[in-house]
Structure 1
Amino acid sequence: MRTIAEINDKINRKSVVVWTAEELKARVAEVGVTQTAKEVDVVTTGTFEPMESSGAIINLGHTDPPIKIRQCWIDGVPAYSGFGAVDLYLGATQVSESVDGEEMRERGGGSVIADLIAGKRVSLRAIGQVTDCYPRASFETTITRDTINQFYLFNPRNLYQNFIVGVNGGDRPLFTYLGPLQPRLGNAVYSSPGAISPLLNDPDLQVVGIGSRIFLGGGIGYVAWEGTQHFPLQKRLPNRTPIGPAATLALIGDAKQMNPRWVRGCYFKSYGPSLMLGVGIALPMLNETVVAHCAVQDRELVAPIVDFSIPRRVRPTFGLVSYAQLKSGRITIEGKPVRVAPLASVYLSRQVALELKQWIESGDFQLTEPVAPLPSDRTLLPQDVWGGSQLAID
C-alpha cells in the first residue's frame, strides 16, 4: 500500500496521517482493517517503565597531565572503566558505595544518569594506572552534561515484548524487580502497559529492525541490535502475540538531547536501583497485515502469572491472564481475588505515544528503513553451575 519513503515525503509536506495505537484500535473497531489501512500512515506506541538493563557511555575528556582511569565513582556510584583512558560506562542498577545516609544507599546509576540529563552537577573521583603516557594517578572534579564529550545511553535490553505477572504464594514478603510481593497471594504486579506497548503492536517484527529511529528518553534514538535475552521463539497466540517474555531490543541515543521528564532514577525497596525510561516507536502502516497486528486489544493479550516464592530459574505459574483483566485492578487466582497494579505508568506510556505523534505531525521526526531485520530464531540458553572441574574439549 505505501512505503517508508512515501510516508516521509508526506511528513515533509505535513500531510501525514498519524494516530496513536489507541486511536488506531478504536478506528479498526469502527470501520474494520481494510478501511483503516486506507486512512492512516503511521501509528505511535509508547511505554514508560523501569528498564534496568540500561546505562550510559561517558567520555570525560583528557586531564593535564593525562590519566588512564582504572577505577571511578560518579556521585559515589562505581562506573566501569575497563576500556579507553577516560571512557566510562555507568550502569543503571549499579549501587552507590556511599554510606552517608539511607538516601545515598538507595541512590544508584539510574539516579546519576537522570541528574546528568537534567543538567545537574555531580561529583567524580578517579584512580589511574600510572604509565609513561598517562602519568596522573588520581583526580577529583565535578561534571555536568555540558562539560563532558560523549554522553549517550546504550541499553543492552529494553522494550520486552510482553513480560510476566508476579505473585507470592509463600508465607513472607518478597522484594523483587517488580516491587514488593505480599505473602499468600496478597497482591500481583505486572510490567507491560499492554496493547499500547511498542513490540506487542509488531509481534513478528515486520517493521521494527536494526536502525529503526525511535523516541528514547525524550530524544531521538535508534534500535542498535537485538536485546540480550531476545527470545522470538516464545509460544504465541493465533494473533501472533507472545504468551510471555519474547523479543527485546538494544537501544542507543544521545543523552544530551533527552528530557528529564522521560528519564528518572528509581529504587526498589530491598532490591536495588533502576531507571524509569520513556520509549516510543512509530510504526509505518505499510499494509493491511501491519494494521491488523496493531489492532490487537488488551483482551487479546495474555501474560503468565509467576510465583516468586519458588527460588528457581523456572518458577511455577498460575496460568495466563489477559491484560484487560489486569487493568481492571483485580484478578482471580485459584478462586481467590487478588489486587493487581502495573509497574509501568499507563498514563505516561500514552503521553509518550502522543508526544511522538506530535513530533511526526510537525515534521520533526522521520521514519527510517531498518538496515537489517532482527533475528527470529534466537533461543534462550541457561547457565548451569557444575561442581568441581570441567573437562575441556577441543
Structure 2
Amino acid sequence: MAVKKTYEEINEKIRRGEAVVVTAEEIIDIVKDEGVAKAARKVDVITTGTFGPMCSTGAFINFGHSDPPIRMAKVWLNDVPAYAGVAAVDAYIGATELSEVLGMAYGGAHVIEDLIAGKKVKLVAKSYGTDCYPRKEIETYINKDVINEAYLFNPRNAYQNYAVAVNSSARILYTYMGTLLPRLGNATYCSASQLSPLINDPFYRTIGIGTRVFLAGTQGYVAWQGTQFNPQQARGENGVPLSPAGTLALIGNLKQMNTDFIRAATFHNYGTTMFVGVGVPIPVLDEDIVEKASISDKDIYTTIVDYSVPQRSKPNFGRVSYAELRSGKIEINGKQVRTAPISSYTRARKIAETLKTWVKEGKFFVQQPVETFKLGQSVKPLEIVTEEEI
C-alpha cells in the first residue's frame, strides 16, 4: 500500500516526541538498505543544510526616533552606507555594500555579523530637515539590544545547484567564486549537493511561501521565491537541475541569530559577501519525496563554466558529478584540474544535524507552504535598448 502522510500527522508525532527524523545524508543509506517504500513508512522528516556565500543578503533595521526626531535621508553604519529610502528611521543594509573608509576590507556583511555578535556599531545619519523631522544629523552608537526591529531579509539564498567555475585565460581572475588560476589551474564549486535543501526537493513540493526554515541559527521563513528563480533549467533524469535554478527569499529575526551559522567574508579583489546557514526540514508525505531526497553526490551533476568569457552565456566544459568534485580533482580536456569548495560541507552537516535535534525535541515543526512555486518561468536577461525601442 502506498505511503501517504499529512503535515498534521507528522507535526502531531513531533509534539509527542515520536517523529523519526534523519538527515539527507542518512536517508541515502536507509533507502539503500531498506528500499524507498520501507523508508517512507519509517521516516517522518528529512533535514537538509547548506552554508555558503550568499551575496544577496541584507537586514532591515528600525533605529527608533531621537528627540528631536530626524527623517534619516542618508545612513552609515560603521562607515558602510545603508539605504534609507523606506521610512524615517528604517534602513536596509546589504551584505555587499562596502565601507567608504576601509573599502573591500569591511562591508555590510561585517556590520550584520557585528550586530548579531552583540558588538557596538556606529550610526551616522543626515537629513534635509522638515517641519515634522527638524533634526538634520545624528551620530551615536547602537547594538542589537537598543534598536527596535532588526531582521534579515535575503532576496536570493540557497541556490538550487550552482556551476563549477574555471578560467581558461592566461591571467588570474578574482570572482565571487574565489580566485581562479589561469589555464585551468583550479576549479571552484559552491553547493552542499546531497545535503542541499532544493536539491532534495527538486520540484518544490514541500518548499514554498511560508515554509519554516533554519536561518542563521534561528527559525525563519521562506518569504517568496528568490530573485533569479529559474526552474526551467535543464534537469537530469533524477529531476535535479544541471545548473543554477531555484532560489529562496528568506526572512528571520537577526537578534536571535548565531554567528556560528552566519559570517562575513571578503573575496580578494572582488568584495564582501555573507556566508549564510540555511536548513529546511522535508516532511515525508509519500514515497516520491523519499526517492528524491535519497540522491547522493555521485548522481548529482553540475556544469563546468569558463569565467574568463565576459558574456552572460559563457561556454562550458561539460558536466561533472559532486562525487568527482569532492575527490579533489576533475578532468577537463584531458587535464587534471584541482577542485576546491567555497562553501562548507562540514557546516552544512552541522546545520542538518542541529535541525534534526530541534525537530526531535519538539522545538521545530514542519510548515505547509501557503503557496507553492511555479515551474513554468525563466529568468530574462537585461537587454540594452534605447528609449524608443522599449
TM-score range, shorter chain: over 0.9
Give, as a single letter, the amino acid of the residue that structure 2 aligns with 1:39: K
3-state SS in 2 of match to 1:357: helix
1:209 CA drift (Å):
0.9
1:186 CA drift (Å):
0.4
Q: Contact (CA 8 Å) 2:160, 2:198: kept in 1 or not?
A: yes
What is the match of residue 187 of structure 2? 188
Q: Equivalent residues in 2 for 1:323-334 (5 A)?
A: 323-334=322-333
Q: Contact (CA 8 Å) 2:209, 2:373: kept in 1 or not?
A: yes
3-state SS in 1 of match to 2:236: coil
CA gap of 1:325–1:373, structure 2 versus 1, over 3 A, is same
Identify the range of structure 1 (19-28 vs 371-380) with the bigger mean alpha-carbon deviation.
Answer: 371-380
Q: Counterparts of 2:365 and 2:167 in 1: how far apart (Å)?
A: 45
What is the match of residue 149 of structure 1? 148
3-state SS in 2 of match to 1:69: coil
Q: Counterparts of 2:74 and 2:313 in 1: how far apart (Å)?
A: 37
1:367 CA drift (Å):
1.1
What is the match of residue 230 of structure 1? 229
Give the count of matched residue pairs.
Answer: 387
Q: Equivalent residues in 2 for 1:263-302 (5 A)?
A: 263-302=262-301
Structure 1 residues 258-308: Cα deviation after superposition (integer angstroms, max 9, x where no partner):
111111110000000000111000000000000000011111111110001
Q: Contact (CA 8 Å) 1:98, 1:105: kept in 2 or not?
A: no
Q: Contact (CA 8 Å) 2:152, 2:252: kept in 1 or not?
A: yes
1:174 CA drift (Å):
0.1
1:5 is the counterpart of 2:8: yes
What is the match of residue 110 of structure 2? 111
What is the match of residue 19 of structure 1? 22
Q: Counterparts of 1:95 and 1:22 in 2: how far apart (Å)?
A: 38
Q: Contact (CA 8 Å) 1:67, 1:129: kept in 2 or not?
A: no
- TM-score with structure 1 length normalisation? 0.97
Q: Equivalent residues in 2 for 1:327-342 (5 A)?
A: 327-342=326-341
Q: Counterparts of 2:303 and 2:236 in 1: how far apart (Å)?
A: 13
What is the match of residue 355 of structure 2? 356
Question: Pick from 18, 25, 36: which aligns with 1:33?
Answer: 36
Q: Counterparts of 2:296 and 2:99 in 1: how far apart (Å)?
A: 41
What is the match of residue 166 of structure 2? 167
Give, as a single letter, the amino acid of the residue that structure 2 aligns with 1:72: V
Q: Counterparts of 2:271 and 2:247 in 1: how far apart (Å)?
A: 22
1:42 is the counterpart of 2:45: yes
3-state SS in 1 of match to 2:243: coil
Give, as a single letter, the amino acid of the residue that structure 2 aligns with 1:12: R
3-state SS in 2 of match to 1:52: coil
Q: Counterparts of 1:105 and 1:126 in 2: how far apart (Å)?
A: 22
Q: Equivalent residues in 2 for 1:303-382 (5 A)?
A: 303-382=302-381
Q: Counterparts of 2:279 and 2:238 in 1: how far apart (Å)?
A: 22
Question: Pick from 81, 90, 109: which aligns with 2:93?
Answer: 90
What is the match of residue 257 of structure 1? 256
Structure 1 residues 368-389: Cα deviation after superposition (integer angstroms, max 9, x where no partner):
1110011211211111223xx4
Q: Contact (CA 8 Å) 2:150, 2:253: kept in 1 or not?
A: yes
Question: Pick from 62, 67, 86: which aligns with 2:70?
Answer: 67
3-state SS in 2 of match to 1:107: strand
What is the match of residue 137 of structure 2? 138
3-state SS in 2 of match to 1:358: helix
1:81 CA drift (Å):
0.3
Unaligned runs of 5+ in 1: none
Q: Contact (CA 8 Å) 1:97, 1:105: kept in 2 or not?
A: no
1:390 CA drift (Å):
2.7
Q: Counterparts of 1:392 and 1:299 in 2: how far apart (Å)?
A: 48
3-state SS in 2 of match to 1:340: strand
Q: Counterparts of 1:309 and 1:238 in 2: how far apart (Å)?
A: 30
3-state SS in 1 of match to 2:232: coil
1:105 CA drift (Å):
4.1
Unaligned runs of 5+ in 2: none
Q: Counterparts of 1:209 and 1:76 in 2: how far apart (Å)?
A: 37
Structure 1 residues 13-49: Cα deviation after superposition (integer angstroms, max 9, x where no partner):
1011000001111100111101111100000000110
Q: Equivalent residues in 2 for 1:231-246 (5 A)?
A: 231-246=230-245
Structure 1 residues 66-118: Cα deviation after superposition (integer angstroms, max 9, x where no partner):
0001111100110000110000000000011014xxxx641110111011001
Give, as a single letter, the amino acid of the residue that structure 2 aligns with 1:135: P
Q: Counterparts of 1:223 and 1:43 in 2: how far apart (Å)?
A: 18
1:81 is the counterpart of 2:80: no
Structure 1 residues 155-181: Cα deviation after superposition (integer angstroms, max 9, x where no partner):
000011001000000000000001100
Sequence identity of aligned pairs in percent? 49
1:129 CA drift (Å):
2.4
3-state SS in 1 of match to 2:84: coil
Identify the range of structure 1 (210-219 vs 1-10) with the bigger mean alpha-carbon deviation.
Answer: 1-10
